[in-house]
Structures are given as structure tokens and as C-alpha cells.
Amino acid sequence: MPTYPPRSVGHLTDILRAGSYLADRGLATALYVGITLGRPVLLEGEVGVGKPEVAKALAAVFGRRLIRLQCYEGIDTSQALYEWDYARQMLAIRAMSERALAADEAVDALFGPKFLVERPLLEAVRAGGDAVLLIDEIDRADDEFEAFLLEVLSDFQITIPEIGTIRAAEPPLVILTSNRTRELHDALKRRCLYHWIGYPSADREVEIVLLRAPGVAQALARKVVGAVNRLRELDLAKPPGVAETIDWARTVDLLGATGLDPQMALDTLGAVVKERDDLELVIANVEEITSGA
Amino acid sequence: MPEQPGLAGVLVGFARALRAEGLAVGSAEAQTYCQAMAALDPADLLDVYWAGRAVLVSRREQIAPYNEVFKRYFLGGTSARTLPPAPRAMAGSVTEAALAVPLTDPTGDGRPEQAQLGMLASDAEVLRHKSFAASTEEERAALRRIMARLTLTPPKRRSRRTHSARAGRAPDLRATVRASLRTGGEPTQLRWRRRKVVLRPIVLILDISGSMADYSRHLLQFAHTTAHAAARVEVFCFGTRLTRVTRALRHRSPDQALADATTMVCDWEGGTKIGACLDEFVRQWARPGRARGAVVVVCSDGFDRGDPETLACAMERLSRLCHRVVWVTPHKSDSHYRPSSVGMMAAWPHIDEIVSGRDLAGLEELAALLPRLA
């Protein structure tokens, strides 16, 4: 297991590379500063550039538990922080005598740790330094939920009225991702470090494909990446992300091809282009896209 | 590494330079930056750059100005041009001029409330059917005041978020258990949860080309009041290209907000490329999610210099992405309206509602229509 915290940006990059994740200088610096200062890192970027992968890679290389909170509209404290186990509470109340129930201790016991169901955020605060917390697609949650997050992200503590405040001994590593479907509140952003993940350069993308799809030959990876880059220049409604590049390389490899001719590209287009309008545009330009490949 | 006061000074100076460029960099961010650099290598310019980008930048649009300031501050780049203050000052003076027009000010010199209201009401009556394009400067100022009271209320939809209620679909176990404590653990009364009702977002896309500038200025005012009344409003202007003015309109004072928005838009009263601009809106904003579930209000006369095919395609995509498309055109004055311009004909099949933006009555119609689009 590599030493934690990492000694330098370069050290962190090497550790992540050993865990099959290629971080560029900017991302590695943001993560290193986040780890050193105990600050959450907010990642925004094009769709399909592997934002959640960052958290998975960090958890894997440092041997920590990955706790994931997928955000959605209407998510609230009972789904993100904690919930009481009502069925067990009911049973416990039934089992108590009338007199026992009147005592204050009865209520304390009912709303005590025994009946508390942990949800991801509470779990992460309890686990503290043993966890990587991934708050995925925070922009899908509503404004009210962002307000819940503020206390957790600034002090790594959670207040449960019936029990008290639970504090993390050592802050967990927190990664937030957003697809920018709405503007996040400045208060939330102020608590986070920010990094924009763009498309990688062609050489780096080839490296990523080789790392993620080990069976694929380098020549094929290069051709697929070349074609994907031409697709991105094509002004598509949904340009392909890195995940699509990997899928496409795998698909072509699976079919036993070593190159990417127009016919092979047309047959496997479903791996990269996932919009009807785009499909028409790509089919019309397929010669050009696969040229030089 | 212990940080030298010299280093901190340099870093804070950089933060200050960014602030001068309009980035929201407070002293807390500057402090975090210094802490970050203490953990990194201050002699390595790449560390200085990336740590700053992680700490001091909080949205994608800020990356370009950040790079600019970084180059200037640390590399002594030749691009050390002073900011041109000219456009801002100019826009300010324009609104001041508009403000200085002598008019009957309803909030002025202690006249009785009754008279004020009467004045305003009769103003409204006279001005209601006067075309915006034909009104005088004084009348426009009066219209502005009336419109400041007219707000757009977006339609509502049921949210996935729930709240405790007397009746509803799902039982509220938490509240039920709480209540049952009082009756010795017997849940005599079930409590319920019901889905909350929230307002849909509104997106205003205003044509500010030569043929539409007069109308759109009014709508911009309208947009400002709406942005302050409703929860989520996005405002865009377009002529030959699309500009997002939502942030500028957040300013509390309408004049300052309008001035800021006007400064941001550089193609006032130029030509129109509706198709290209709507296409850009769909790609840049609607697809990533800004228009999902929203009511999109496009204000334009549909005179397009571009390819009608582009417009038709963009409108089709837009109508699939958002809740409803409302088109405001100054040319519609009755219910027998049929599209006359090529652009309108291309957009026509994808429009849910069409209203007149010709005069105040038309805007009132729009305001009345919106809540019904649920």
C-alpha cells in the first residue's frame, strides 16, 4: 500500500498510474492539495471523461472504502444522511410496558444509535479517514440538498437532533462531480477545490485506452483515438467521451479487426454515436473520419 | 516548507489581480491558496499555476481570464493591457439619460397614495395597446414602471421531494412513530407525506437584432423583474451570436442590471441568425440540462438571415428537450395570425403557444398564459 498522504504531486500521479488511472498535472495538483488541506474537490467536465473514476481510483490505490452518494431530484436527509428504523422502533414500543414508556429513557433509547440507519454521508463521516466519499452528479439534486451538504463538507460533521453531533476524526477524501445542468451555489463552491476535466490529448487518450482495455493493440488504439478526435471536431450534439473511445476500441478488437476501415466503423458505430441526428452526420462523413486511420 | 512573507505577498498580490479582473476571490480563497502553496513547490511555476486554478477558479468561464492574469502577473506577458472602461461607462450614461427624462414620478414628492395609483392606472390604460415601437421616450419610461409590477409566474409541477401532510399517498413513518409514543405505541393515526409543488424554470431568449431591439429592451426589463421574482430564470440575448445575460441581471437595481446586460451583449441592433443562435443554445445549454422541464420563451420576429433548415432542426430539438416553447412575436395582433417570415414558418410546427409582444396587452397575455402551461 502506498504511503498516505502522498509526498508530492508527482508521487500522487505515480500512485494513481499504478492503479490504472492517468491523472494530468492539473488534476493531480487539485487532488494533492485537496488531500493535504482536507478539502473536497469538485470536478466538472465534459460528459464521459471519467469524473467518478477519479474517486474509484483514489479508493483503490489507498485501500479505502468507496462510499458513493448518487444524487437525484428530491434526495433528502433520510436518503443521504440517516433514517430511523421505524419497524424496529414500533416493535420496541409495543414490547415496553406502559410505565417504562412514560420514562424519559425510553424515548432516548428509541432514538438512540441502536435504531439509527446510516446513509452514505453519515457512513462517510463515521468512517472518516478510511473512506473516499463520492458525491456524484450533485447538480441533479435540488437547492435544498446543497444546503444540507454545507455542514458536512465544511466541518465533516453531522448533527442529528436526537443524538447530537457526530464528527469525523480525520476528514474523508471527498470528490464531488457535476455535469453543469445547473449552476451550483457559491457557498458550496467556496468550500471546494475546483477542477475542470476536458478531453485528454490524443497521446494520453491512447495511453488510457491501452490501460483500460489491455487486450487492444497499440496500432488499433491509435486509429480509434484518431477517429474519435475527428468525430469531436464534427460538431455533434453529443460528442463521444473517453468511455466511448474505450468501448469502441474494445468492440472493434472483439470483432477481430486490426484497423478501422469505413465498413468496420459503420458496423460498430453504436459504441460511439448515440443520437439519431449525429448518426446521419457521421454516416455521411465516415470516409473522412476513418481516413488516415 | 515554511512560507516566507515574500511568497505570501506575491500570492496575495496575484489573488488581488484576479479580483480586479472580476473573479470572485476573497481573502479566504487567498489564504487557502497560500496554504496550498506551502504544501507544494513555490519555485515550480506549474505548481503555482495549477494550485491557483484549483483554489481560485470556481467555474469554467473563469479559466480564460485566470490564464490571462497568470501570464501577466507571473510571466510579465506583453498582454498587460489596461481594461477598457469605455463600454461600461457608456452604457451607464445611456441609462442615466433615460432616467433623466422628466416624467411624472409616482414615488415622488409626497402626493397622496390615491392619486398615485390613479395616475398609474390611467397610464396603464392609455399605454396598454400602444405599440412599443411607436411609443415616445416618456411613454416607454412609464411602461417600464408598469412592467416592473408585472411578473412572469412560471407554471408548477410536482417535485420528487415530499413533505409531511394531513393527506397524501405515502405514509410518513417518522411522524407516525413519533405520534404513537403518545398513545403507548399504538399508531392510532397515520401521518402522510405528499409531493411538493415547485415552479418550473423559465428560459427567456430575446432577439436584439435591428428589427427587434425596441421590443427586446422591454422584455429585458421584464426579464429582470422575473429573475428576481421566480426561482430559476435564465436569460439569453441573440443577434448574430448568443450571449447569456443571466448573471448580469442578478443586480438588484434594474438600471444597473440592464446596463451590465447591455454591455455584455455586443451585437445590439445588428443582423439576425436565429437558427445558428438557437442551435448554439440547444448545444451549449439545453442539452446539458438547463432547459429540461423548463418553459422556453423565444422573443423574435423570425426574420432570419441563415438557413431555415438549421432553425427548424434547432427548434425541433429544443421542443423535445424542454417542457413548452412559447414564441413572442411583435407581428401577431389577432388570433388569425399565420407566419409570414421564412424563419417563423420553419419554427411554426415546434411552437406550443404564440403570443403578441407588440404592446403591454400582449405581455399581459403572456403573463397570464405562463401559469397555465403546467
Chain B residues in contact with A34 (beta carbon < 8 A): 54
Chain A residues in contact with B276 (beta carbon < 8 A): none
Say yes or no: B188 and B260 in one domain.
no
Q: Residue A206 has which C-alpha cell?
A: 491512447
Say yes or no: B210 and B176 in one domain.
no
Q: Chain B, 55-84: which have a CB under 8 Å from a chain A CB?
A: 55, 57-60, 63
Residue B126 in domain: no
| Res. B19: pLDDT tops 50 | yes
Res. B115 pLDDT band, cuts 50 70 90: very low
Res. A135 pLDDT band, cuts 50 70 90: very high
Residue B301 in domain: yes
Question: Is the Cβ of A191 closer than 8 Å to some Cβ of chain B?
Answer: no
Say yes or no: B241 and B291 in one domain.
yes
Say yes or no: B236 and B355 in one domain.
yes
| pLDDT tens digits along B129-161 | 666 656 666 666 766 666 666 667 778 888 878
Say yes or no: B192 and B320 in one domain.
no
| Res. B356: pLDDT tops 70 | yes
- Percentage of chain A with pLDDT > 90? 50
| Res. A42: pLDDT tops 90 | yes
Say yes or no: B70 and B175 in one domain.
no
Whole-number pLDDT of residue B93: 32
Calculate how close chain B gets to A145, using CA atoms only, in Å. 10
Chain A residues in contact with B50 (beta carbon < 8 A): 25-26, 29-30
| Res. B218: pLDDT tops 50 | yes
| Res. B75: pLDDT tops 90 | no
Q: Residue A155 has which C-alpha cell?
A: 466541518
Task: Enter the CATH code of domain A9-72+128-143+172-197.
Answer: 3.40.50.300
What are the φ and ψ backbone dihedral angles of A258, each rounded to 5 degrees?
A: -110, -10
Least confident span in A1-5, A165-169, B228-232:
B228-232
| Res. B79: pLDDT tops 90 | no
| Res. B247: pLDDT tops 50 | yes
| pLDDT tens digits along A236-266 | 888 899 999 999 999 999 999 888 889 999 9
Chain A residues in contact with B287 (beta carbon < 8 A): 237-238
| Res. A124: pLDDT tops 80 | yes
Residue B267 in domain: yes
Chain A residues in contact with B288 (beta carbon < 8 A): 179-181
Whole-number pLDDT of residue B101: 27
Res. B113 pLDDT band, cuts 50 70 90: very low
Q: Residue A193 and residue B55: Cβ atoms within 8 Å?
A: yes
ipTM of model? 0.71
Q: Chain A, 36-95: which have a CB under 8 Å from a chain B CB?
A: 36-37, 39, 41, 44, 72-74, 76, 78, 84, 86, 89-90, 93-94
- Percentage of chain B with pLDDT > 70? 73
Q: Which domain holds residue B304?
A: 202-373
Q: Residue B372: is it exposed, middle or buried by C-beta count within 10 angstroms (0-12/13-18/19+)?
A: exposed
User: In whole angstroms, how far apart are CA B164 and each of A65, A82, A107, B170, B176?
Assistant: 35, 17, 22, 10, 10
Residue B136 in domain: no
Say yes or no: B194 and B216 in one domain.
no
Say yes or no: B213 and B171 in one domain.
no
Say yes or no: B368 and B321 in one domain.
yes
Question: Is the Cβ of A148 closer than 8 Å to some Cβ of chain B?
Answer: no
Say yes or no: B305 and B247 in one domain.
yes
| pLDDT tens digits along A12-35 | 999 999 988 999 999 999 999 999
Q: Residue A101 and residue B185: Cβ atoms within 8 Å?
A: yes
Whether the bond between A5 and the residue before it is cis, its omega within 30 degrees of 0, is: yes
| Res. B223: pLDDT tops 80 | no
**Of B35, B59, B75, which marks where a domain is finished?**
B75
**Of B141, B175, B198, which marks where a domain is finished?**
B198
Residue B248 in domain: yes
Q: Where are the domains of chain A?
A: 9-72+128-143+172-197, 83-113, 202-285
Say yes or no: B167 and B232 in one domain.
no
**Of B59, B75, B91, which marks where a domain is finished?**
B75
Say yes or no: B174 and B257 in one domain.
no
Res. B303 pLDDT band, cuts 50 70 90: confident
